[in-house]
Amino acid sequence: MKRCMLILVLCCLVSLPFFNCERKDMADQKFQQLVDGFLDGFYEAHPVWATYIGDHRYDHLIDDYSSEAVQAEILRLRLFAENIKSIDTLGLNPTNKVDFKILENEINAQLLRYEELRPFEKSPVMYTRLIGASINSLITREYAPLRNRLTAAIYRLKRLPALVRQAKSNLKNPPEVQTRTAIRQNRGNINLIKNDLAKVLERLPGWKDTLDHPMKTGIATLEDYQTFLEEDLLPRSNGEFRLGKKLFEKKLKLTLQSDLSSDEIVKRAEAELASVRKRMFELAQPLHEKMFPGRQLKETGRELETVVIKEVLGEIAKDHPKKDELLAVCRQDLRELQEFVRQKDLIDLAGINQLEVDWTPEFSRGVAVAGLDSPGPLDKDQKSFYRVSPVPDHWTEEQQESFLREYNNYMLIDLSIHEAMPGHYVQGYYDNQFPSLLRSIFGSGVFIEGWAVYAERMMVHAGYMDYDPRMELTQLKMYVRAVINAILDTKIHAGGMTEEEALELMIDEGFQERSEAEGKWVRASLTSTQLSTYFVGFQEIMDLERAYREKVGEDFSQKEFNHKLLSYGSPPVRFLREIILGSE
């Protein structure tokens, strides 16, 4: 009897590892099926976004925001919110354990968008950007023969009237800043069809007649929408752009995927602002003596600090390009930055895809000065676009000069580091190499922006511009902007910060030019929680770097650390911390 029992126990012990493997395989398979089903539904509900990602089954469609479609999407999301609870998380492999958390967070974020934020009722900008992206992605990304992409454009042009009808029906009382921005962007949509699409047609003889009617229909539809925006919607655009404390906190938690409260972020940001200003003063003082020899300043303490930094930055700002030279300067900076990264061996650039520097399309201007438009994970071999907003022609000479002073030659270098080399451009390439499609599509904005800010600091500390203190001072000015962004984000949307108070903070404490500060007020009013990602992400990556340095000691390698950061897609930094510190 005892011998039989012993044999039975041994058999169980031998089979246990196989049982655990089978359990893991089953859990991973079930989770992957859930992910596939979720993404298929996501593509179908958001066909314009699907085109960007690289799933081209729905290139002929535009997102549907009818009441029936909205309710159907809420139902779909709620179904997945229930189904994900059935996943055995203990049985998942390490990659899927992270992706489970990412998917769970994304489902909740999308439910918040559809049920509480409801941009389809409050944001005319959502519609103008959707319209522009629906056509622009088809004519700028060469993922398929032009004939195929123009065929898709015809279908989308024919669907514009339905989308515009939905916009007119859904938009009730949006904030004024939303409608004014949409008015400018919709003019860009009209020009996109009239000019950009028409220019593309020249490459395909014989198709002009085919697109003539759809283009005329699209233009007429958008001109009618322009009239609606200006004459109907604008006079009744009295909605509140602030989210309010409760909704802001809820959205912030999902954006950051962190338990940090808005009050804690503001507290940390204000302490960081004071600390960074002291470093800026240390850099500015000797520069001030050279720039203003013999000048005696009467100010003391914080007032002296402010005057010295502001006057030195003012001298640096004089070295700026003309407005028609912006693209050429950015292109040259990009070449030099790439060469520096290679020389210093900061990160492996082999296989990096193409990057084209160009103006921001008119339909998406008015939110950010620059940005990176990377190919989606399913179109990873396509080129990336480093988009730079031109100086608006309607601005006064004073406003234009203010913009160019803000984006002087030193600041343009820092901007190109952040957006391109080795910031978003390089990070986006590495992101697309990671096998998790879910992680690429729903990457953490905190990590993405945190890396870009980290890249700025890294390049300066590696000696870019031969350790020129003007370069470090400019980089710190840009970093102070990220710090202040987090303060603005909370105090505007979860408090009652006025435009005057915001401008004072940005100009007096952050040394920004008025044009930049006024633009940031608009951006902060149009967006929420995104402005916190720069500061929070940078702080988390710096905390991780310090912990990693403590772990490896003198063996620390910047290149090795960079590769560890970028080799796992774009998950929240807290997961990277577990992966990197636990991998040695």
pLDDT in tens, 368-412: 788 998 888 998 778 889 999 999 888 999 999 999 999 999 999
| Number of other residues whose CB lies within 10 A of the CB of residue 442 | 22
pLDDT of residue 330: 96
Confidence of residue 85 (pLDDT cuts 50, 70, 90): very high
Work out the angle between the directed axes of helices 445-461 and 424-433 (0-180°, nearest 10). Answer: 130
pLDDT of residue 10: 41
pLDDT above 70 (res 553): yes
- Pair of tokens at residue 8: 């039975």
Average pLDDT of span 70-80: 98
Inter-CA distances, 115 with 129, 174, 371, Å: 21, 17, 29
Mean pLDDT lowest among 1-15, 196-210, 331-345: 1-15
Q: Kindly report the backbone phi and psi dihedral angles of residue 361, in degrees, each rounded to the nearest multiple of 5, phi listed first.
A: -55, 145
**Selected residue with higher pLDDT from 7 and 562:** 562
Domain spans of the chain, in order of start: 10-117, 121-236, 274-581
pLDDT above 90 (res 458): yes
d(CA 308, CA 153): 55
d(CA 451, CA 346): 14
pLDDT above 90 (res 365): no
Q: Kindly report the backbone phi and psi dihedral angles of residue 132, in degrees, each rounded to the nearest multiple of 5, phi listed first.
A: -65, -45
Terminal alpha carbon distance of the chain: 48
pLDDT above 50 (res 188): yes
Q: Are 122 and 175 in contact (CB under 8 A)?
A: yes
pLDDT of residue 186: 97
pLDDT above 90 (res 90): yes
Mean pLDDT lowest among 142-151, 186-195, 201-210, 526-535: 201-210
Confidence of residue 203 (pLDDT cuts 50, 70, 90): very high
Classified as helix, coil or strand, 388 is strand
**Selected residue with higher pLDDT from 112 and 208:** 112
Average pLDDT of span 181-200: 96
pLDDT of residue 468: 98
DSSP 66: S
pLDDT of residue 415: 97
Q: Are 422 and 506 in contact (CB under 8 A)?
A: no
The pTM of this model reads: 0.93
DSSP 566: H
pLDDT, averaged across the chain: 93
Average pLDDT of span 560-569: 97
pLDDT above 60 (res 352): yes
Q: Are 135 and 157 in contact (CB under 8 A)?
A: yes
Inter-CA distances, 481 with 156, 485, 512, Å: 39, 6, 8
pLDDT of residue 22: 56
pLDDT of residue 259: 83
Confidence of residue 2 (pLDDT cuts 50, 70, 90): very low
Average pLDDT of span 202-213: 92
pLDDT above 80 (res 5): no
Mean pLDDT lowest among 79-88, 221-230, 358-367, 566-575: 358-367
**Selected residue with higher pLDDT from 138 and 21:** 138
Average pLDDT of span 84-113: 97
pLDDT of residue 7: 42
pLDDT of residue 380: 78
pLDDT of residue 394: 87
pLDDT of residue 95: 96
**Residue 383: half-sphere exposure toward Cβ, Cα within 13 Å:** 11
Confidence of residue 8 (pLDDT cuts 50, 70, 90): very low
Q: Which residues are CB-contacts of 23 (< 8 A; sequence separation ≥ 6)?
A: 88, 91
Q: Are 400 and 372 in contact (CB under 8 A)?
A: no
pLDDT of residue 24: 62
Q: 220-272 pLDDT, tens per residue?
A: 999 999 999 999 999 999 999 999 999 999 999 999 998 889 999 999 999 99
Average pLDDT of span 505-532: 96
Average pLDDT of span 336-353: 93
pLDDT of residue 237: 98
pLDDT of residue 23: 58
